[in-house]
Structure 1
Amino acid sequence: MDINQLPAECLSSILAFTSPKDACRSAVASPAFRSAADSDALWITFLPSDYRQIISQASSSSTSSCLNSLSKKALYFRLSDHLLFIGSGNSSFVLEKESGKKCYMIGARDLDIIWGNSPQYWTWKSIPTSRFREVAELQVVWWLEIKGKIEARSLSPKTKYAAYFVFKLVEDRYSRRGFQIRPVSLEVHFEGAEVEEDGRKRVILDPPEGSLVVCEERSDGWMEVEMGEIFNELGDDGTIIFHLKQIDNFISKGGLIVEGIEIRPKYD
């Protein structure tokens, strides 16, 4: 039987077992495959099951209306090629293009930063390289603690995720005191779960020259460090907590600029 004789619905069902990349490649095989590869019936299988709810959270109602008017294929690529700012615009969402997995970034304004609203300790400013309107710049503290959280149901199921702390340090090395010799503690866990000592990472954010560098520079010019990883089984495990702290010494700290915490799939 000539496969091109199959109804477009059957071809779409077949292509749904592939990937977005393979579906696009199949479009050049024949007109029948091209029709199936462009169909809403196919691309709705690649979109997250809660894509309507995600769109409804857009920080701009005009953005939400625009997205709802797109075909499902166009919507998939719009959500994978452009950030969608959600809520009050202090967090963002994007699809991983290859897999359709959900990725989030929680901006500094949506994080719980101890003394974050006290100008003598933290100031809020706009930086051209940031995706968000404001980032938090540390002036001076002795007790540093930053927390974030996300509901497991917001992430893709059966997926291993890693969380990354995204930051900069001010150029003046003296002003970024406290991060050269003392590590920060990083952890990721489900709310209510006990974290063993070996489940915490300890990382120096501003290591001396010649030492092992754990932080990496991103393509957007910011730095990131992995906080930890977690496996999201079915999304019914409650709330995932991200925690950064340096509270075990009396050394003053300053010069840290916080953009947010990014959560994205991790592949071994």
Structure 2
Amino acid sequence: MEGEIKGKAMEGEQLSDFSSLPEGVVAKILSLTTPPDACVSSAVSKIFHAAAQSDIVWNQFLPTDWELFISRSNPNKLKFDPIFSPKKDIFFSLCYFPVLIDDGNKSFSLEKWSGKKCIMVGARDLSITWGENSDSSWEDHPDSRFAEVAVLLFEWWFEIRGRLSCRMLSPKTVYAAYFLFKLGERSYSGFNIDPTNATVGIIGHENHPKSVCLDPYVDQPLYLDQLIQWPQWPQWRRQFERRMAGLERPHKRHDGWFEIELGEFIGGDHGDDELEMALKEVKGSSSKGGLVVEGIEIRPKKLSRLHA
């Protein structure tokens, strides 16, 4: 019994000693952890709470070049003061409020679990084969972070390409590229006939293409049956379903946009190289329309434990 009491006393003394470390020392320790760890540590003690608000901690979580990105934005649109705002406020502002850069055609934000950089290439910065045709249009959209989105009205040849400097990404990070789109108010059709080919990779390096399905309703025959009324349709539908079997499908995000992963890569370790992303369906076996393109987002792949 005496040994047990003595052991508890020593444990208490160790905890007391750790909690009584100078705030600066605690801040340095927290800066070596992660943003979620720093937030949770605020509940440990008053010293930890104060240290967890320190610029020492959050400056470590911010990318070293975050100010360079901010210099490429409109300062009047920022939700923080780059000079006087606490670094913690800047960090979370960049997590939840993407900053438009490069004439408003790209956006820069941070992944809240790690502070890694996320970039979205807006439709205006993409090479869209049908982008300047009369069979497409550029429109504002209430749900888009960009001034304009591309709307495909009617086209047989579908191809979208985008490029991004690898220096814009965090080093030694597994990234994935995601195509963001919506179904237009006009008829959305043609993307349930043939798979769309997607590629992501560093220019000049080998990449691994894959086929994806851009129709989120391809597995809902009743939806299609209501749109298409002809005797041969059930037979055609079964053929289309076989083509799409096993392919990755879009899923709807919390912000209302559909997204589909185009591929993954290791980012930030290729110097002046460029990342290229492509999405195309050029067989021309069907016309396509009703696609609203916001852009392609490049963000770190989440660990399974972080999925929400």
TM-score (norm 2): 0.78
Q: Is the 8 A contact 2:192 2:214 kept in 1?
A: yes
Structure 1 residues 158-192: Cα deviation after superposition (integer angstroms, max 9, x where no partner) = 111111111122345xx333212112111101011
Structure 1 residues 54-89: Cα deviation after superposition (integer angstroms, max 9, x where no partner) = 111113456287233211111111111212111211
Name the structure 1 match of 2:56. 41
Name the structure 2 match of 1:125. 139
Per residue, is there more helix in 1 or in 2? 2
Name the structure 1 match of 2:124. 109
Q: Is the 8 A contact 1:58 1:64 kept in 2?
A: no
Name the structure 1 match of 2:7. none
- Of residues 211, 221, 224, the one that matches 1:202 is 211
C-alpha deviation, 1:100, in angstroms: 1.0
Name the structure 1 match of 2:200. 188
Partner secondary structure for residue 137 of structure 2: strand
- Of residues 125, 133, 136, the one that matches 2:150 is 136
C-alpha deviation, 1:239, in angstroms: 1.0
C-alpha deviation, 1:146, in angstroms: 0.7
Instruction: Choose 1 or 2 for highest CA Rg.
Output: 2
Partner secondary structure for residue 73 of structure 1: helix
C-alpha deviation, 1:215, in angstroms: 0.9
Q: Is the 8 A contact 2:130 2:152 kept in 1?
A: no
Q: 1:222 to 1:102 in 2, by over 3 A?
A: same
Query: Map of 1:1-40 to 2, 5 A cutoff?
Result: 2-40=17-55
Per residue, is there more strand in 1 or in 2? 1
C-alpha deviation, 1:48, in angstroms: 0.6
C-alpha deviation, 1:28, in angstroms: 2.7
TM-score (norm 1): 0.89
Alignment of 1:263 with 2:298, yes or no, is yes
Partner secondary structure for residue 67 of structure 1: coil
Structure 1 residues 213-257: Cα deviation after superposition (integer angstroms, max 9, x where no partner) = 611111111111110111126352611111011123353322211
* Counterpart Cα distance in 1 of 2:270 and 2:209: 23
Q: 1:260 to 1:134 in 2, by over 3 A?
A: same
Percent identical residues: 44
Q: 1:89 to 1:237 in 2, by over 3 A?
A: closer
Name the structure 2 match of 1:166. 180
Alignment of 1:145 with 2:156, yes or no, is no
* Counterpart Cα distance in 2 of 1:68 and 1:55: 11
Q: Is the 8 A contact 1:124 1:136 kept in 2?
A: yes
Alignment of 1:70 with 2:85, yes or no, is yes
The one-letter code of the counterpart of 1:209 is Q
Alignment of 1:251 with 2:286, yes or no, is yes
The one-letter code of the counterpart of 1:178 is G
* Counterpart Cα distance in 1 of 2:268 and 2:95: 23
Query: Map of 1:63-102 to 2, 5 A cutoff?
Result: 63=78, 66-102=81-117
Partner secondary structure for residue 81 of structure 2: helix
C-alpha deviation, 1:8, in angstroms: 2.7
Q: Is the 8 A contact 1:186 1:201 kept in 2?
A: yes
- Of residues 241, 247, 267, the one that matches 2:276 is 241
Counting matched residue pairs gives: 262
Q: 1:156 to 1:235 in 2, by over 3 A?
A: farther
Structure 1 alignment gaps of length 5 or more: none
The one-letter code of the counterpart of 1:189 is G
* Counterpart Cα distance in 2 of 1:176 and 1:33: 54
Q: Is the 8 A contact 2:118 2:300 kept in 1?
A: yes
Q: Is the 8 A contact 1:146 1:243 kept in 2?
A: yes
Structure 1 residues 184-213: Cα deviation after superposition (integer angstroms, max 9, x where no partner) = 111101011244xxx212122222525566
Q: 1:235 to 1:61 in 2, by over 3 A?
A: farther
Cα root mean square deviation, aligned: 2.2
Structure 2 alignment gaps of length 5 or more: 1-13, 222-240, 304-308
* Counterpart Cα distance in 1 of 2:49 and 2:219: 56
